[in-house]
Amino acid sequence: MIELRLWRQFLAVAEELHFSRAAQRLNMTQPPLTQAIAQLEDLLGVKLFDRTRRSVQITSAGAVLVPEARDLLARARALPLLARASANGQAGRLRLAFVSTVGFALLPQWVRAFRLQHTQVVLELVEATGDVQLDLLARGDIDAGFILHSPGFAPPGLARVQVASEPLVLALPESHVLAAGRAPTLARVLAEPLVIFPRRIVPSLHDAVFSLYHSAGRLPQVAQEAIQMQTIVNLVSAGFGVAWVPESVRQYQRSGVVYRRVSAGRSGRASAGRAPAEVPDCETSLVWPEATRNPVLQRFVAFIGESPG
């Protein structure tokens, strides 16, 4: 390992092509500088300068090393600044996972704005369902994730900040009888075949949807399960059934599908011994391990808290 001191001395001689002037520039006497260059040549096993009593000329091997030495010294000078930037979250790496619904509108604007404000932070994004994100967080493979859940749900061991709250709307085939006219009522909707995500993907929201049916004294007729919201909407377009999706999914304009708000109507009254049926809302939160002390993540959490939803 060659000390930075030797490269600094080499560069001074290469730029001055005069040992005395280079020594003055380095605030040292000439004999130690001459010895330092001889030491560097010995370490490298090549001659860096051709010296006579009247001139100093850099060799081809030395000339090749000049830009590399400048770059090395510049990067060394930048290290303290980088260390301080990393310590306060202005530099580093942030690994984020997200569900597809947050990717429709919120995530692109957040990522764009955060990168403009924090040019030294590397963002690594991966799309993943909620269950996969929890596994990734547990293994330390991501720093934080945007997950979908029912209102107020908090995964154990994770800190969270809510970033969005929205109602569930009904996605149904464009040709369906409920697609036209007034808002369909629950009494009509709950009898339709249902396309829904598996419970393991978003347990809290899956349970909220099923509770909607149970509160109205109905059992869901699950026709098909799918993991991604886009796939669910595509299955609705193919006529497999209707689906409850976050309102933000409206931005996924799939031909053959319409989105409708649903009125509680008469089915909103409680069946015997049951609470009134109401279409649930859903929330999106940024979650991360409570013990995390990643300065970049802390800065991102503060940024999200200040950003409009």
Q: What is the DSSP string of 106-173?
A: HHHHHHHHHHHH-TEEEEEEEE--HHHHHHHHHHTS-SEEEEEESTT---TTEEEEEEEEEEEEEEEE
Q: If you search the block for the tokens 């029912």, which residue do you land on? A: 150
Same domain, 261 and 187: yes
For residue 185, the cross-strand partners are 263
- Distance, in Å, from the CA atom of 307 to the CA atom of 287, rounded to the nearest integer, reads 16
Q: What b/e sequence results for 175-211 when a residue is b if at least 16 CB atoms lie within 10 Å of its CB, and e otherwise?
A: ebebbeeeebbbbebbebebbbbeeebbbbbbebbbb
Domain of 128 in residue numbering reads as 91-159+285-306
Q: What are phi and psi of 163, to 5 degrees?
A: -115, -15
Q: Confidence class of residue 88 from pLDDT cuts 50, 70 and 90?
A: low
Structure letter (DSSP) for residue 182: S
Same domain, 134 and 225: no
**pLDDT single digits (tens) 11-31:** 999 999 999 999 999 999 999
Average pLDDT value for the chain? 88
Give the per-residue pLDDT at 267.
44
- Is the confidence at residue 271, as pLDDT, over 70? no
Sign of CA dihedral 256, 260, 262, 263: negative
Give the per-residue pLDDT at 268.
46
**Closest C-alpha to 197, from 227, 222, 224, 221:** 227
- Is the confidence at residue 140, as pLDDT, over 50? yes
- Distance, in Å, from the CA atom of 286 to the CA atom of 295, rounded to the nearest integer, reads 16
- Is the confidence at residue 110, as pLDDT, over 70? yes
Q: Confidence class of residue 266 from pLDDT cuts 50, 70 and 90?
A: low
pTM of the model: 0.71
- Is the confidence at residue 82, as pLDDT, over 70? no
- Distance, in Å, from the CA atom of 241 to the CA atom of 239, rounded to the nearest integer, reads 5
Same domain, 70 and 104: no
Maximum distance among all Cα pairs of the chain, rounded to whole angstroms: 109
Same domain, 259 and 297: no
Give the per-residue pLDDT at 178.
87
Same domain, 191 and 206: yes
Same domain, 221 and 254: yes
Same domain, 177 and 215: yes
What's the CATH code of the domain at 30? 1.10.10.10
- Distance, in Å, from the CA atom of 291 to the CA atom of 288, rounded to the nearest integer, reads 9
Q: Confidence class of residue 274 from pLDDT cuts 50, 70 and 90?
A: low
- Is the confidence at residue 257, as pLDDT, over 50? yes
The pair of three-digit structure tokens given for residue 107, joined into one six-digit string: 């995530």
Q: Confidence class of residue 53 from pLDDT cuts 50, 70 and 90?
A: confident
Same domain, 225 and 278: yes
Domain count along the chain = 3
- Mean pLDDT (whole number) for 272-294: 81
Structure letter (DSSP) for residue 184: P
- Distance, in Å, from the CA atom of 6 to the CA atom of 12, rounded to the nearest integer, reads 10
What's the CATH code of the domain at 218? 3.40.190.10
Q: If you search the block for the tokens 């649930």, which residue do you land on? A: 280
- Distance, in Å, from the CA atom of 135 to the CA atom of 156, rounded to the nearest integer, reads 13
Write the CA distances from 111 to 82, 99, 173, integer angstroms. 22, 14, 33
Give the per-residue pLDDT at 276.
58
Alpha helices for the chain (secondary structure H) = 4-16, 19-25, 30-44, 60-87, 106-117, 130-139, 186-189, 203-215, 229-237, 295-306
- Is the confidence at residue 47, as pLDDT, over 80? yes
- Is the confidence at residue 144, as pLDDT, over 80? yes
Q: If you search the block for the tokens 């809290």, which residue do you land on? A: 204
Among 62, 87, 112, give the residue marking a domain's end: 87
